[in-house]
Amino acid sequence: MADDRGMIRPGQVIILCALALLTMGVVMVQSAGMNVTPLSDGMNPTESAAVSGVTASSLMTSRTSAYLFLAIVAMVIASRLPVRKLADRLDRVVWFRPGGDLGLLMIGSVVLIAVVLSVYVPGLRREMNGSARWINLHAPGLESIQPSEIAKWALIGVVAWYASRLASYPSNRLHRFWTGLFPAVAAIGVVAFAVVLEDLGTGVLMVAACTIVLLGAGARIRHFAMFIPLGAMGVAAAIMTSPYRVDRITSFINPYADPKGDGYHMIQSLATVSGGGVFGRGIGHGLQKFGYLPEDTTDFLFAVVCEELGLVGAMIVISLYAAIVWTGTHIIARERSTLLKLFTLGVVATFCLQALINLMVVTGLGPTKGIALPLMSSGGTGWILSACMLGLVVSIDRTRTPSAEEFEIAAIEEGFAERTQRGGELVVMPQRVERFGPLVRKARDESIAPAEMQELLGTEELVVKPRVQIRPKPMPIDAPDREDLEEYEQLMLHDE
């Protein structure tokens, strides 16, 4: 079809942008991780002040390169999964009655809570910078896993399934409060509460993304408005009960009140961003990463990008994120499966909001939070899971069945058919192709999968004789019922 052969598919755009972000992430993490060896007494400065620079060898053998490889593998595997077969099976799942639609929602919520609370299990718990967000499975490559990342993406799938099931009823049950929306909000709130105990930013991100999914499924805004006071009180309680969170809010309001303490992060981040100018200092030539900017390889990596690549590099990074989000919305608009549409919406919303929050924090537009820049900030769990989710979106786009309207448009563009001026009916051109006729007629009535399309085109017995065109003779000039001359040029259709 013209759309497939002449243009790049949306899923391919996502893959290219993701690869670009991952590649930039490897280079910038390596650059931000450079360090200077302190001078030794009595030593020659040129010999003792060795700098761990960025080389081809260091890039290829680094831990981030291994994560890059695993992320690409995860994205490729996910892009080839039969997501539509899985979605069809999930659409038919009813766990128990009464309350059959609540089955997977309840089970999924309990499992995700258990995953998040695994950070408190002795022997698995791993603390970093005073926060217990990671677990150590005591296996090579599994020493630092962030359960909240798993819960963040899995909750999207659970909520999308529940919302699609309720939206599939003749009267959308998400319009009901107690038996429709409330169970979903309760499940989201409980899982998010477990995450907020250690990571407020990720918990808020999960709630925001799931809210977008439910609204996309048809939930009423006025019902959500009833939860705003409760949510605001929950966030306020989470902040007030944690002194370090209160300090982050106060330092955001006035970072120079304590420039060497709570405001240090934001001041150094702004200094790093502004130090790059338009074209930057060059990769590896940044200064703030040498002991001034905290968390330069993770939460504040974008500041290093601004310093070393300048405004140009920053705009490239932002454009790549915008391209993924824009392409994702295009896939959402064309998708007909409610479950896959809502799942894609959740993935795109999570990806967009996470990037937006990180950029706001780095540029001083929001209080300091431990939200990583997706596909760039150092972190194996985040890279692999984010790439896997984007791979699923690519699979949704790859296996999408074109609608009847798209078949007709492609047939006209290829010259296989034309639309008449009278009635707007699609007619196959017998002089152009013989076996495209039944396919177009069938496409007008029901959707056809790509595999079935190939089968139809290659099956002789399904060929029917297409309709032919006959141009009528012009009426006499003096005919009293003569129509406008333009009418004579319209096509009259008759069966052969």
Q: What percent of the chain has pLDDT over 90?
A: 39
Name the residue with higher pLDDT: 439 or 220.
Answer: 220
Query: Looking up tokens 């089955």, which residue turns up?
Result: 103
pLDDT, position 182: 92
d(CA 30, CA 489): 69
Tell me what pLDDT residue 41 has. Answer: 62
d(CA 392, CA 395): 5
Angle made by CA atoms 249, 251, 252, in degrees to the nearest 5:
65
Q: Can you read off the two tokens belonging to residue 390?
A: 């984007």
Q: What is the mean pLDDT of residues 267-273?
A: 92
At residue 55 the predicted structure's pLDDT band, cuts being 50, 70 and 90, is low
* Contact present, 407 and 439 (Cβ < 8 Å): yes
pLDDT at 477: 45
Residue 261 CB-density burial (10 A; 0-12 exposed, 13-18 middle, 19+ buried): exposed
pLDDT band, very low/low/confident/very high, at 437 (cuts 50, 70, 90) = very low
Q: Is the pLDDT of residue 97 over 60?
A: no
Quickly count: other Cβ atoms within 10 Å of residue 206's Cβ. 28
3-state SS, the chain, equals CHHHHHCCCHHHHHHHHHHHHHHHHHHHHHHHCCCECCCCCCCCHHHHCCECCCCHHHHHHCHHHHHHHHHHHHHHHHHCCCHHHHHHHHHCCCCCCCCHHHHHHHHHHHHHHHHHHHHHCCCCEEEECCEEEEECCCCCCCCCECHHHHHHHHHHHHHHHHHHHHHCCCCCHHHCHHHHHHHHHHHHHHHHHHHHCCCHHHHHHHHHHHHHHHHHCCCCHHHHHCCHHHHHHHHHHHHHCCHHHHHHHHHHHCHHHCCCCCCHHHHHHHHHHHCCCCCCCCCCCCCCCCCCCCCCCCCCHHHHHHHHHHHHHHHHHHHHHHHHHHHHHHHHHHCCCHHHHHHHHHHHHHHHHHHHHHHHHHCCCCCCCCCCCCCCCCCHHHHHHHHHHHHHHHHHHHCCCCCHHHHHHHHHHHCCEEECCCCCCEEECCCCCCCCHHHHHHHHHCCCCHHHHHHHHCCHHHCCCCCEEECCCCCCCCCCCCCCHHHHCCCEEECC
Q: Is the pLDDT of residue 318 over 80?
A: yes
Q: Does the pTM exceed 0.75?
A: yes
Q: 342 near 172, Cβ under 8 Å?
A: no
pLDDT digits (tens, 9 = 90+) for 451-461: 554 454 444 33
N- to C-terminal Cα distance for the chain? 28
How would residue 405 be classed by pLDDT, with cut points 50, 70 and 90?
Answer: low
Q: What is the pLDDT of residue 233?
A: 93
pLDDT at position 369 = 84
Burial class from Cβ neighbours inside 10 Å (0-12, 13-18, 19+) for residue 236 reads exposed
Question: pLDDT averaged over the chain?
Answer: 78
Q: Which of 23, 90, 34 is nearest to 58 (CA)?
A: 34
* Displacement of CA 183 from its chain's centroid (Å): 25
- Predicted confidence (pLDDT) at residue 322 exceeds the cutoff of 50: yes
Nearest to 458 by CA among 469, 450, 466: 450
Predicted pLDDT at 488 = 36
Contact 304/296 with Cβ under 8 angstroms?
yes
Could you state, in order of their start, the residue ranges of all structural domains in the chain? 10-39+48-398, 404-494
